[in-house]
Amino acid sequence: MDEKVSTKTALSILAVALVSFSGIMSETSMNVTFPVLSKLFNTSLNTIQWVTTAYLLSVTVMVTTSAYLTKRFSVRTLWLTGVIIFTAGTLVGGLANNVPVLLLGRIMQGVAAGIAMPLMFNIIIANIPQSRIGTWMGIGSLVVSLAPSFGPTYGGALIDSFGWRSIFFILLIVPIISLLVGWRSVAHTTPAKLTQKFDSTAFILLAITLTAALLTVNQLQGGQINWSLFSVTVVALMVFIWRALTSKQLFLNIRLLLRPRYASLLLVVGLYMFANLGFNLIGPNFLQDIQHTSSFAAGFSLLPGTLLGAVLNPWFGRIYDLKGAKLPLYLGNFIFLLSVVVMALIAQSMTLWVLIVAYIVFTFGRNLAFGNGMTAAVADVEVDMKADANAIMQTFQMFMGALGTTVAALYGAGNAGMVAGFANFLWVIVGVALVNVVLLVIHFKSKVV
């Protein structure tokens, strides 16, 4: 039976989604400002890209707490906290007169998005009937996939007309709309009565691991590995795993990673985020630096594909409801692979309009597989572990997005030049699509635990 979703539930999802959307959109809207900010603050592309990476890292670290926060606080409390922090961070970013203050504002925006994004999916998982879960997870993934691609157009239009600060100030409209939509609809849910404390030690260890890992990758621009940072990453990761498996306090249930069906799709979804956010950085910068397009045109290059993905995402989720996961995942990855191979082969002669068409195909394939990958990953998990599964999924996505941004910036700023860097990064994405084929086979051949 096709059960209905109440208006109150739909509005509560929308209210939280607005915070998620604006947070993610603010991330990629800054990508087209990098040439301007590099000159303004007299710094390199690889340094200024931390305006994006610091945001993604703060989202990643914050999302790790979502399973605990969902159990500890009501949905309404978390939503209002996200709105307040996002508003404050947006003001700080818009008023910044140097890179450290700008980074502070971006980190605050990241904390807000790190609260709102998993909260949105948790509301969907907890309140949407099983017969509609694919469609509504598709709507949720629409936010995750639409916002990063819509951002460059938004940022490009504003920076050409009103300057980079307007990117922040105009976003202040969004929390106001979220409050209007959600004030009567976002529920005062009753938090669980927890007998266990939050495992702050495990949280700190994971935060150190993620930060050190990104710093290690960022340092590769010098042509060598920073072994000190690499050692910190490895040691912190090993201690975190030991702590997570032995502690009686609450944080993340990483035992889910031992389940092949869940772990394989976790990697698939994370690799799509790596590819998407990496391309969203290097694509517009390639157009500005090599094709000498305006900031607006470079940002606009991603918009047609983005809008198509937005329109089709709920339909992609409906395919999951009707046909299951196999068709959309395999078909989506094939289309994604085909688009990236073509772009990689013609990268050196890529024009604005060719990139627009290629990105439409890129987004069609990626979105078809991405949203349904998230739905299928959580589908097999027991009800009492779904919050953990969602938290791990969102954490890994954001980390891989930050990694994709960092790697793309390294290729763009490399000694080989932007043209070769763009082509080489596209071949990296081809490798991502091929790895995903193997991971999908593992998922569908593994038994449900």
Residue-level pLDDT at 428: 95
Distance of alpha carbon 5 from alpha carbon 15, whole angstroms? 16
Residue-level pLDDT at 235: 96
In a shared domain, residues 263 and 277:
yes
Q: Tokens 């948790």 belong to which residue? A: 122
In a shared domain, residues 152 and 56:
yes
Residue-level pLDDT at 1: 44
Residue-level pLDDT at 439: 96
In a domain, 2, yes or no: no
In a shared domain, residues 288 and 208:
no
Question: Could you tell me the CATH number of the domain that includes residue 414?
Answer: 1.20.1250.20
In a domain, 324, yes or no: yes
Burial (CB < 10 A; 0-12, 13-18, 19+), residue 328, is buried
Distance of alpha carbon 132 from alpha carbon 146, whole angstroms? 21
In a domain, 372, yes or no: yes
In a shared domain, residues 268 and 135:
yes
Print pLDDT tens along the chain (449 aa): 456 777 888 888 888 888 888 877 777 777 777 777 877 887 776 677 777 778 878 888 888 888 788 888 888 899 999 999 999 999 998 898 888 898 899 899 989 988 888 888 888 877 777 777 777 777 776 776 667 667 777 777 787 778 888 888 988 998 899 999 888 888 777 666 666 788 899 999 998 998 888 788 777 765 677 889 899 999 999 999 999 899 888 888 888 999 999 999 999 999 999 998 899 888 888 888 888 888 778 877 888 888 887 778 778 888 888 888 899 999 999 999 999 999 999 988 889 999 999 999 999 999 899 888 988 888 888 877 887 888 888 788 878 887 888 888 888 876 677 888 899 999 999 999 999 999 999 999 987 76
Q: At which of 215, 233, 249 does a domain end?
A: 249
Question: Comparing C-alpha atoms, which of 281, 271, 207, 280 is closest to residue 400?
Answer: 271
In a shared domain, residues 414 and 285:
yes
On the CB side of 415, CA atoms within 13 Å amount to 4
Question: Comparing C-alpha atoms, which of 399, 325, 437 is closest to residue 55?
Answer: 399
CA dihedral 213, 219, 223, 227 (to 10 degrees): -60
In a domain, 1, yes or no: no
In a shared domain, residues 111 and 231:
no
In a shared domain, residues 212 and 290:
no
In a domain, 48, yes or no: yes
396 and 302 in contact (C-beta within 8 Å)? no
Residue-level pLDDT at 223: 62
Q: At which of 230, 249, 268 does a domain end?
A: 249
Q: What are phi and psi of 198, to 5 degrees?
A: -70, 135
In a shared domain, residues 42 and 63:
yes
- What single-letter DSSP state applies at residue 422? H
List the structure tokens of 1.
């039976």
In a domain, 370, yes or no: yes
247 and 97 in contact (C-beta within 8 Å)? no
Distance of alpha carbon 167 from alpha carbon 226, whole angstroms? 35
Distance of alpha carbon 201 from alpha carbon 394, whole angstroms? 20
Q: At which of 185, 219, 249 does a domain end?
A: 249
Distance of alpha carbon 218 from alpha carbon 47, whole angstroms? 9
Q: For the whole model, what pTM was predicted?
A: 0.76
Residue-level pLDDT at 293: 86
In a domain, 348, yes or no: yes
In a shared domain, residues 333 and 184:
yes
Domain span at residue 222?
199-249
In a shared domain, residues 232 and 377:
no
In a domain, 236, yes or no: yes
Number of domains forming the structure of the chain: 2
Q: Tokens 């990139």 belong to which residue? A: 355
In a shared domain, residues 404 and 416:
yes
Can you give the length of the chain in residues?
449
In a shared domain, residues 167 and 221:
no
Distance of alpha carbon 20 from alpha carbon 126, whole angstroms? 18
